[in-house]
Chains A and B, each alone.
Chain A
Amino acid sequence: MFGIETLGGNLQAAVLIGLVLAEAVILYVGYGVLESALARRVTELIRGL
């Protein structure tokens, strides 16, 4: 996946872990933006149910 299979040993491992870390940070920021946009509305919706 993502063509990193062509890299070898340590470099492949480092790139792979870097990709996982990058995905984690992107998801954290992305879901964070989503949360700040929707959290209050969803929370109030749950409270009002």
Chain B
Amino acid sequence: MEFFGVAVELLAMFTGFGLLIGILFGFFGMGGSFLVTPALLVMGYETNVAVGSGLAFVFGTSVIATLKHRDLGQVDYKLGVLMIAGTTAGIEVGKIGLEYLQHIGLADSVVSVAYVGLLGAIGAFVTYNAVADRDGGLVGEEDVDGDEEMPAIAQKIQSYRLPPMISLRGGVTVSLWMILVVAFATGLLSGFLGVGGGFIRMPALFYLVGVPVPVAVGTDLFEIVFSGGIGSFLYAQSGAVDLSIVVPLLAGSALGARLGAGATSLVEEDDIKIYFGVMLLLGAIAVAVRQVGGYLEMPVLDTVSLVIILGAALLVSGAVVLSSVRELRRTGPESSSSAAD
């Protein structure tokens, strides 16, 4: 049976996969192309179609997730625009570094090692901090606005009172120049590694700028609307965006993103960070396995890598849903909330 010339089974599979990714994307503000592109490659799609369709999907999902986060008051547009400006400049400089490495023939190995190292390091850092936080708090952290804990690095960055100072959501005031420096640095890494950068920006917004995690996620998503839109437009110019992939993926992820974004209001902030860290650590392992497979010319390791990524996605999105359900049940029947459905 076919619908618009596409097998219904394929549409159902993409919709289910989209639901899974949508939960992660809405919850963390990352994970779209990270999950979709490798899956499409293993399914046999051409590289440009896998990347282009992945980007178009990320664009659509980020629009939906941003709208949802906006409804929850978790998008700081001022910070988002500043981040876009700084990130764009950083990406351009990062690309120059990458082109130089390509010129001397070291791009693949350096980028692979840097990517795995960075993914693993951020994953380990976030997980360690969240676990330490839950076990009694880290040295150098203190309560801000009652229950919000601000990392020591963010406090240090906010202590530089270089005008103009910018007030952000969550009662945070930071120097404009500090925001631009953080944005430039994340853009630099993003351009150098050739990735969207959600996994770098979200922790950077929390750990360096100091905005609360839900605002970091919402603002990161706002930025992805622009980067995903421009990226998918460029690929669509050469016909590399396949709507038979994007449309069903988006249909599933729209629901997932709503659930994921709603879950950020229910799940403990430390739990969000632990899930995020575990997701990155498993992602680092998956990328490392794929790189080893390429080096040893063992295509089977590509499949192993995909299984790890999909397993991680299933595990973490399942944990998000379970935590939300547990929280809803804990608050009891007398409380009311429409954040999660």
Contact = CB atoms under 8 A, between A and B. Distances in A.
Contacts of A27: 64, 250-251, 254-255
B233 interface: yes
A17 B233 contact: yes
A1 B5 contact: yes
Given A20-B59, A27-B64, A39-B338, A12 B247 contact: no
A15 to B, nearest CB: 9
Most chain B beta-carbon contacts within 10 A, residue among A9, A16, A36, A49: A16
Nearest to B4: A1
B224 interface: no
Interface stretch (B85-93, B172-180, B234-242): B234-242
Interface residues of B, number: 41
Interface in B237-264: 237, 239, 241-244, 246-247, 250-251, 254-255, 258
Contacts of A17: 56, 59, 229, 232-233, 236
Contacts of B250: 20, 23-24, 27
B68 interface: yes
A9 B243 contact: no
A48 B59 contact: no
B157 to A, nearest CB: 34
Contact of A13 (B61, B236, B332, B333): B236
A2 B243 contact: yes
A43 B341 contact: yes
A2 to B, nearest CB: 6
Interface of B is mostly: helix
A12 B333 CA distance: 51
Contacts of B242: 1
A28 B67 CA distance: 8
A32 B65 CA distance: 12
A1, A9, A25 — most chain B CB neighbours (10 Å): A1
- Interface residues of A, dominant DSSP: helix
In this complex, which of B237, B250, B251 has the most chain A Cβ atoms within 10 angstroms of its Cβ?
B237
A1 B14 CA distance: 16
Interface string B280-312: 000000000000000000000000000000000
Given A1-B247, A16-B241, A28 B68 contact: yes
A24 B254 contact: yes
A31 B255 CA distance: 7
A20 B232 contact: yes
Interface string A25-41: 10110011001101110
B214 interface: no
Interface stretch (B100-108, B142-150, B215-223, B323-331): B323-331
Given A28-B68, A31-B254, A14 B233 contact: yes
15 contacts: A1-B242, A1-B247, A4-B243, A12-B239, A13-B237, A16-B243, A17-B59, A21-B60, A21-B229, A28-B67, A35-B258, A38-B341, A40-B336, A44-B333, A46-B325
CB-based closest 10 A-B pairs: A13-B236, A27-B254, A39-B341, A1-B243, A24-B63, A24-B60, A13-B237, A39-B338, A20-B60, A16-B236
Given A17-B59, A28-B63, 8 more contacts: A13-B234, A16-B56, A23-B247, A24-B60, A24-B64, A40-B336, A43-B328, A47-B333
